[in-house]
Structure 1
Amino acid sequence: MGKITFYEDRSFQGRHYECSTDHSNLQPYFSRCNSVRVDSGCWMLYEQPNFAGCQYFLRRGDYPDYQQWMGFSDSVRSCHLIPHDQDLRARGLQRPDGGDHRRLLPPAGPLPLQ
C-alpha cells in the first residue's frame, strides 16, 4: 500500500490531497502541484489526465518543489502506484553438502515456446 500527498504550494503549503490508489484524473482535487510528500510506495506521476504526458518516478521522500522531481511545470494530473513485492530479498541457497550456492539454476525442463 502506498501513500502520497500533493500540495498546491511549495514547501508543503496550501491546499493538499492525500492519495493511496491510482487516479486517472486529479484535476478535481487541486489546480496545481508544487510539492509532494511520498510517505510510502513508489509512484509514477503524469502531467496529463489518463496517465499521459511527461511522467515522473517518485520514491519515498519529500519533494518541496516540482523541480526536485525534475518536473517541467506544476502540472500533475494523474498518478499510478507502482506495485512491488515487499518480500524481495537476495537469498543464498544451501547445497545438500552444506555449502553456499549463489548461482542461478537452469529450469528443470525445457522452456515453453511462445
Structure 2
Amino acid sequence: MSILTRRGEGSLVGQEAPGRWMDIPAKREKGSLPCRKAHVYRGSYRLRIYERPEFGGQMMEFTDDCPNVYDRFRYNDIFSCNVMEGYWIFYEQPNYRGRQYFLRPGEYRRFSDWGGFNSSIGSFRRIMDF
C-alpha cells in the first residue's frame, strides 16, 4: 500500500514499501489539491510499546495520543510494539515532529519492522482519517 504525505508546496513524500521513501512532484491544476482524504476510521485505538525487541522489558499500553514518550514511558526508545486496534503515526521527536512512521494493526517485533532507522520515538498519535 502506498502512503503519501504532503511536504511543502509542490511535492509529496511517498512510501512504496516499509522504509522505502521517494519524492513525488505534485502536479497541481488550478483549484485542485494533490492529496485527499481516502478513509475514515471510527473504531477504538490500542497500542502497546516495549523497551526491548521481541516485546521484552517494560511495557505500557496507550489508547490516546502521546506528545512526549519520555514523559509517559520514561524511556527514549521503543524497540517493539503491538498495534492491537486502530492506525497510528510514530514521530522521531516529541510534539509530533521529525520523521514519521505509519503503523497499522499488527506486531512489530523490532523498530525496523515499521521502517525505523533507529529505536528513537519521541511522540505518537492516532490516525482518525487517512
Fold-level similarity (TM above 0.5) = yes
Shift of 1:25: 0.5
Report deviation, 1:58: 0.2
Task: Measure, in 2, the Cα distance between the counterparts of 1:23 and 1:32.
Answer: 14
Q: Distance in 2 between matches of 1:46 and 1:68?
A: 15
| Unmatched segments (≥5 aa) in structure 2 | 1-43
Q: What number of residue pairs does the alignment pair up? A: 85
Q: Which residue of 2 aligns with 1:23?
A: 66
Cα distance in 2 for residues equivalent to 1:7 and 1:27: 13
- 2:82 aligns to what SS in structure 1? strand
CA radius of gyration, larger in: 1
Identity of aligned residues (%): 36
Q: Which consecutive aligned stretches of 4+ in structure 1 deviate over 2 angstroms post-superposition?
A: none
Per-residue Cα deviation, 1:32-91 (whole angstroms, up to 9, x for no partner): 11001000000000010000011000000000000000101111111110114xxxxxxx
Please, what TM-score do these two structures have when normalized by structure 1?
0.71
Aligned with residue 121 of structure 2, among 69, 76, 81: 76
Q: Indicate the residue corresponding to 2:84 in structure 1.
A: 39
* TM-score computed with the length of structure 2 as normaliser: 0.63
CA RMSD of aligned residues (A): 1.4
